[in-house]
Amino acid sequence: MIDPVCPIDYRYGRKELKEIFGETKRLQYLLDVETALARAHAKLGNIPTKAANEITKKGTTKFVKVGRVKEIEAETKHDIMAVTRAFAEVCKGDAGKYIHLGATSYDIVDTANALQFADSTDYLNKGLKELRKTLVGLAKKHKKTVMTGRTHGQHSIPITFGLKMAGYAIEVDRHLERLFECKSRLLVGKLSGAVGTGAALGPKALKLQEEMLKS
């Protein structure tokens, strides 16, 4: 049986997208959300600023390793618990106990997804703009280059190669528009705590969410 081709796999994926969707970068997105949560808690006076600073300092894959997260996950059978435990291990003092405070796993996962989608759509947007520029250049260069037109899969009256490239450029414009429109659906973070009530986050839950997502 032939496996389906994944656009980000080892053979066909572009280096930049493989990095964005790779294990190390994925872990970094999760750590970014956890550090943003800690800074938000500190800003509202829920945890010591010193602890938030330590969490922020250690919240990189330089300190928290994919291998260690995998070891803990093999034991706990829980992905985010593994991340938070590996994270806490590298923090000095009692800073580790404030990691993930009040959050539920998918507060972290969904928000990390949004960060991942933001980077990947930015990459695609840049590539599409470069492609459009190339197509427009070809359209201008070949506006008088005659070629055979086609309709219903067969030859028709002549057109120009420039017209053909202009048509492709317009299609890319539409792709850029779709990419822009999908951002309002994709790039959404959240913080609502266990079962989504915000109760575990305290009386300033909505403000905490606002501060975390701004950070």
CATH number at residue 10: 1.10.275.10
Do residue 71 and residue 34 come from a single domain?
yes
**pLDDT for the residue 10:** 65
Do residue 77 and residue 147 come from a single domain?
no
**pLDDT for the residue 215:** 81
Q: In terms of C-beta density within 10 A (0-12 exposed, 13-18 middle, 19 or more buried), how is residue 151 classed?
A: exposed
Distance in angstroms (rounded) separating the CA atoms of residues 118 and 188: 10
Distance in angstroms (rounded) separating the CA atoms of residues 114 and 193: 18
How confident is the model over 84-131, as pLDDT tens digits? 999 999 999 999 999 999 999 999 999 999 999 999 999 999 999 999
Number of compact structural domains in the chain: 2
Do residue 109 and residue 96 come from a single domain?
no
Mean pLDDT confidence for 149-161: 95
Distance in angstroms (rounded) separating the CA atoms of residues 52 and 43: 9
Do residue 130 and residue 87 come from a single domain?
no
Residue with the larger pLDDT of the pair 8 and 168:
168
Distance in angstroms (rounded) separating the CA atoms of residues 23 and 36: 20
Q: Is the pLDDT at 81 greater than 60, yes or no?
A: yes
Structural domain including 119 reads: 104-188
Mean pLDDT confidence for 182-202: 94
Show the CA angle centred on residue 113, arms to residues 42 and 19, nearest 5°.
Answer: 110
**pLDDT for the residue 13:** 78
Do residue 118 and residue 95 come from a single domain?
no
Do residue 99 and residue 197 come from a single domain?
yes
How confident is the model over 31-75, as pLDDT tens digits? 999 999 999 999 999 999 999 999 999 999 999 999 999 999 999
**pLDDT for the residue 2:** 45
Residue with the larger pLDDT of the pair 5 and 83:
83
User: Is 46 strand, coil or helix?
Assistant: coil
Do residue 198 and residue 182 come from a single domain?
no
Which residue blocks in 77-187 are alpha helix, DSSP H? 79-90, 105-141, 161-186
Mean pLDDT confidence for 176-204: 94
Do residue 65 and residue 120 come from a single domain?
no
pLDDT band at 11 (very low <50, low <70, confident <90, very high): confident
Do residue 93 and residue 109 come from a single domain?
no
Do residue 30 and residue 127 come from a single domain?
no
**pLDDT for the residue 5:** 59
Do residue 146 and residue 68 come from a single domain?
no
Do residue 168 and residue 208 come from a single domain?
no
**pLDDT for the residue 43:** 97
User: Is 70 strand, coil or helix?
Assistant: helix
